[in-house]
Each structure stands twice: as structure tokens, then as C-alpha cells.
Amino acid sequence: MATLESSAVPLHAHHDDLSFIRKYIFATDHKIIGLQFLFATLIFLLIGGVMALMIRWQLGFPGEAMPGVGVINPKFYNALVTMHGTFMIFFAIMPLLVGTFGNFLIPLKIGAPDMAFPRLNMMSFWLFVVSGIVMTASLFVEGGAAGAGWTVYAPLSAVPQYTGVSLGQQLWIISIVFFGGSSLLGSVNYITTVINMRAPGMTLFRMPLSIWGLFVTAIIALLAVPILAAAIIMLLFDQTIGTTFFLPAGGGQPLLWQHLFWFFGHPEVYILILPAMGIVSDIIANGSRKPVFGYHSMVLAIIAIAFLGWIVWGHHMFQSGMNPLLGTSFMISTMAIAIPSAIKVFNWLGTMWRGNLWFHTPMLWAVGFVSLFTVGGLSGIFMASNSVDVFIHDTYFIVAHIHYVLFGGSLFAIFAALYFWFPKMFGRCMNENWGRIHFALTFTFYNLTFFPMHLLGMGGHMRRIYDPTAYEFLQPLQPMNKFITVSAFLLFMAQIPFVINFFWSLFAGEKAELNRWRDNGLEWTVPSPAPHGNFTVTPTVYRGPYEFSSPEVEEDFLPQDVPPDGGRERAPETVGR
């Protein structure tokens, strides 16, 4: 309970004598933990990406040996589909947004010395590592990795005989239980920090939208993940000790699994997109040198999306045999989400309107996010219509949709955030030109890969099938499958400039100035990288985070901690070290 001792008062005096292990391995500093999450998740992102390539290879060239991998058999293919989804959702996108940027940004941007519970924060990271190790280990156990899809629908997942996988599926469940623990500790920390530890003057409606996104996300995760935990524990017992929660033979209900899973799963989707929306809002305002258009409605839209997220889970189950009347109500609540989403897109456009756009690399990615999220949002309307969903449910149309939202959406926002906050994280800048090349290549090959999937879906191409040529009616679509596969490989290779740029800049990048992007956030008032404890003197906040091009001052930005009299004497920034 004495964990706060180190954070209650800024103790720069003795943070330097922490040993290497205390500082970088069992770190309690939120910034170091954020970086730990970053490096861990980049590995998982790579694993998930390689799995995607293997899936694409099999779909483009069914049954042919993949160079360096060999022939992919159907069981392994199912494992790939399952683990690609699992790694990308639980071990890449979610921890990148929530773990990395949640940890790194929340205290810095609200003017707090650290998280409310630094040691819980450390435990959160190490539980995540344990979870990741268990999940990775499940790839190599006897019987192979889980093969019931990342949605682990019972009874397929509940009885080992149905998939031929037992230990792999059990490790999957155990790993997600650990993951849930990690997520819970993170959520408790973020919520307490945001509520209790804001700097003086940092009212809720002066918080940057990125913090709003992360805060609301933490609330969603806090309340959604336990439902998943309860459900998968029941699933584990069905697998191992003979309970019958989801097995009709023993009186259980397979659809109960789907209800519980999607009651978690749909809010989970918003966990993956709300922080991204917040981050993009920050970066677009910065790149446009203009306040965010309609800040309050942006906040309300985040809250509305989060709330609606709880009452739409049934739209994943339109074809599962639910009561048709219930289907109608779920369609209406689902479509209602289009309204706050539309508000967000239009407000981003409004932010750029009459701006003075500065196309730094983060801005490019943010603009890319807006254009691709628009596609993902619009294609969602097809699925929301329960009658159209009868046809496109479980086809490549939905694969296209989720990838437009999670790759074109979340991952683009993650790249934007990485380029944007890299200087603050490491004290060096990433190379802008290579960043632009990375963006141009990714944007191009991204669309070449995923846009045609809409057409596959319209052709009736089912998702998660090992060999599309097994169906006669899908054979004419095979050239398109090949095209997508080639594009996917190019998309993968388009990430090479990023990897090189990232590691090269880490050691040899241009030294970062204090406020690289002439931004208003509190994080730009501390040295890059910021010391343990962040602020030498607790900052006082005088205004919202988006006072760009304010008529009050000559420059086109006005940091949150500059007193209104215009006295630009900010002592703290130079003291740090």
C-alpha cells in the first residue's frame, strides 16, 4: 500500500541510482512500461503478420508449398486463422493502443508524475508477458494451436474431438485469463489516474481527445473483459472437467457462449478503435494548426459509441438463430452507431477545413486513417442491415470490413502515434522521408490487399475456408485471390522501411528538440525523454489542448500551461536535466 511513496513527491534526486533491472525490467515508471509494451507488442505484430502471409499464401496458391514453410494443411490453416486473429487483437492492436500509448501518454498529458499505482502497472505488463508466452507456446504443443477461430465458438472449442486440439485450446484460454488480469490492472490504474491525478486546471473538458479515448476505453475494458474471463473459464471447465455449460448434450446452450462472447466482443471492438480516434484527433488538430472542430461533440461521440457498444452485441448473431424480433432491435441499435461515427469523420474534415496543413508523417497517417476508417464505417452499414447480413455474414465482405477498421483504422493510428511521440519516447526523431515512403507504400498496398476483399465477399466467398477452389462457384474468383496474396506480400515488405527507420532512429536519429511538432500538450514541456516523475514542478493548465492559431498569440500554437497573460516564461522545461 506504500507504493505511492515514490510518486507522491517528485523525487528526481534518487531516481538515477535505480539499478538496470529496476529501471528497465521491473520498471514502475509509466514511460518505461509503455516502451516495454511497445517492444513486446511489435514482436507479436510481426508474428501475426507472418501468419497473415501464410494464410494468404494458402488462399492464393492452395496446396502449393510455401517457400520456407512448406505445404499448409487444413488443421494448421485453422490454427493460423485463429492465432492471427488472437495475436493481432489481443497481443498487437489492443496492447499497442492501450498498453503502450495509454501508459506513455496518460500521466504525461494530464500532468501527473506517474500512474496512480506504479507497481500494479508493472504487474500488468508482466502478466501480459506471461500471457504472451503461454499463447506463443501453444503454437508448439502436441495437437497444435487452437483452431476454433478467435471467437472460439462452442461446442467446436469445448470438445477436443471436434477440432483435434486439446492442449492448444486450453493454453489459449489460460493465456487469455492472464491477459484479462493484465487488462484489469491496467484499467483500474488508468481510471484512477485520470479521475484523481489531473494537474490543477486540467478539467475533464480540457483533456486531449486521446486521453478521452483511452479513459473511456479503460472503462469499457474494465467492464467487458471480466465477462470474457467468466465465459472462458466456463469453457475451460467444459474442455477439462466435464461441465456442460455450452454442450447441448448435458443441457447447456451453445448460443450462451456467443451471447457472453459478443457482450464482451463488441465493446472490445471499441477498445480497439476509440483510442485510435482520440490519437488521430490530436494529430489532425496539430497537422491542421487548428482547434479540433466541435471538441465537445467529439467527446460526446466517444461516450455515445461506448454506450451503444453495450447494446449491439446481437448483430454478430443475426444468422445464429436468434429471435427475429431481437434481431430487429439489434439492427436499430447497431445502425445508431453510424451517427456518432459520422460526427467524428465530419468533424475531422471540419478540423482540416481552412487550416494550414502541415504534412508531417504523423499527419499523413492520420489522414490515411480518416479516409480508410470512412470505408470501414460505411461497409459496416451493410452488416448492420440484418437482411443484407443474411448474405454477407461470414463472407470476405466482413473480413474486408474488420481489416478496414482495425488495420486501416487502428494500426494506421498506431503508426501515426509512433511517428508523433517517438521523439518524446526516445529523444530522437524518426526520419521523415522514410516515414513518408513507408506511408505511401503501406497505403497503396493496403488498399490493393483489402479493397478487393469486398468483391470476394459479394461473390459469396466464405471466410475461414482453407481451399476456396473446393467450391466450384468460387473458382472464378481465384485470380482475385492471387492478386490479393501478391498485394499482401508487398504490404508486408512495405513495413521494412519502417523497421529500419525505427531502429536506425533509435540510435542515430536526429536529436529531438523539446517540442518537435509545436504542439500544446503538457508532454511537450518536459525533456525528451522525460525523467522519472515527469514534471519538476506540477504544471498548471490554463486552457484546452487545441489552441492552435489562436488570435491571442503570434505563434500558431498556445501550450496548455502558458499563463493567459502571455508571459512565456515556463521555468520547468529547462530544469529537468
Partner 1 sequence: MGWLPGAASTYAADLDRIFYVILAVTGLVFIGVEATLIYFLWKYRGREGRKAAYIEGSNKAEIIWTVTPAVFIVGLAVASQSVWSKIKSPANFPTDAIEYRVEARQYAWGITYAGADGVLGTEDDFTRFNEMHVPVGQPVSFELTSADVIHSFFVPAFRIKQDAVPGLIMRVWFEATEVGEFALACAELCGVAHFNMGGKVIVHPQDEFERWVAEQS
Partner 2 sequence: MKEAIAMPGGVHAEPGMRIYNQKLGMWVFLASEVMFFTGLIGAYIILRFGAGDWALPGIPLEEGGTPLAINLTAFNTFMLICSSVTMVKAFAAIEHGDQRGLRLFLLGTVVLGAAFVGIQIFEYIKLTHEGFLPACSAELAEIVPNCGLFGSTFYVMTGFHGAHVSIGVFCMIWVTVKAFRGAYTKENHGGVEVIGLYWHFVDLVWILLFTIVYLI
Partner 3 sequence: MESAEQKQQPRYYFIWFLLLVLTMVEVGVAYLSHLPRTLLILVLVGLAIWKATLVAMYYMHLKFERLRVILLATAPIPLAIILVLGVLLEYAQ
The grid cell for 113 is 508524475
Nearer Cβ to partner 2, position 198 or 290? 198
Work out whether 63 is an interface residue with partner 1 (CB under 8 A). no
Size of the residue set binding partner 3 (CB under 8 A): 16
Q: Mind giving me the DSSP string for 226-257?
A: HHHHHHHHHHHHHHHT---SS-GGGT--HHHH
Distance between CA 484 and CA 461 in Å, rounded? 14
Closest CA to 370 of 342, 339, 331: 342
Smaller CB separation from partner 2, 4 or 458: 4
Question: Which 405-464 residues touch partner 1, going by CB under 8 A?
Answer: 455, 458-460, 462, 464
Q: Which of partner 3, partner 1, partner 2, none does residue 204 bind to, with CB < 5 to 8 Å depending on kind?
A: partner 2
Residue 72 interacting with partner 3 (CB under 8 A) = no
Could you tell me how many residues of this chain bind partner 1 (CB under 8 A)?
93
Q: Does 324 bind partner 1 (CB under 8 A)?
A: yes
DSSP state letter for 548? B
Among the listed residues 326, 496, 537, 575, the single contact to partner 3 using CB under 8 A: 326
Binding status of residue 314 toward partner 3 by CB under 8 A:
yes
Please name which of 517, 484, 559, 565 lies closest in space to residue 417, comparing C-alpha atoms.
517
The residue behind cell 514502475 is: 28
310 binds, among partner 2, partner 1, partner 3, none (CB under 5 to 8 A by kind): partner 3
Q: Which stretch binds partner 1 (CB under 8 A): 40-48, 144-152, 181-189, 203-211?
A: 144-152
Nearest CA among 42, 49, 48 for reference residue 491:
49
- Binding range to partner 1, per CB under 8 A, among 20-28, 41-49, 346-354, 494-502: 346-354
In this chain, which of 130, 255, 448, 506 binds partner 3, going by CB under 8 A?
255
With H, G, I as helix, E, B as strand and everything else as coil, classify residue 70: strand
Length of the chain (residues):
577
Q: Write the DSSP assignment of 456-493 as a string of letters.
A: HHHTT-BTT-S-GGGSGGGGGGHHHHHHHHHHHHHHHH
> What is the x/- site pattern for partner 1, positions 229-258, by CB under 8 A?
-------------------xx---xxx---
Helix/strand/coil (H/E/C) assignment for every residue in 85-153: HHHHHHHHHHHHHHHHHHHHHHHHHHCCCCCCCHHHHHHHHHHHHHHHHHHHHCCCCCCCCCCCCCCCC
Answer with the entry of partner 3, partner 1, partner 2, none that 538 interacts with (C-beta below 5 to 8 A by kind).
partner 2
Rounded to 5 degrees, φ, ψ at 552 are -65, -30
Q: What amino acid is encoded at 245 in this protein?
A: F
- DSSP bridge partners of 511: 428
Q: Does 323 bind partner 3 (CB under 8 A)?
A: yes
Site string for partner 1, 349-388 (x = CB under 8 A): xx-xxxxxxxx-------x--xx--xx--xx-xx--xxxx
Residue-wise over 277-288: b if at least 16 C-beta within 10 A, else e?
A: bbbbbbbbbbbb
Stretch that binds partner 2, among 92-100, 137-145, 195-203, 473-481 (CB under 8 A): 195-203
CB of 241 to partner 2, least distance (A): 6
Under 8 Å between Cβ of 409 and 376: yes
| 543 lines the binding site for partner 1 (CB under 8 A) | no
Please report how close the Cβ of residue 310 comes to partner 3 at its closest, in angstroms.
Answer: 6
Residues forming the site for partner 2 (CB under 8 A)? 1-2, 4-5, 7-8, 111-113, 116-117, 184, 187-189, 191-192, 195-204, 222-231, 233-234, 237, 241-245, 250-253, 256, 259-260, 538, 540
Residues forming the site for partner 3 (CB under 8 A)? 223, 227, 255-256, 259-260, 263, 310-311, 313-314, 322-326
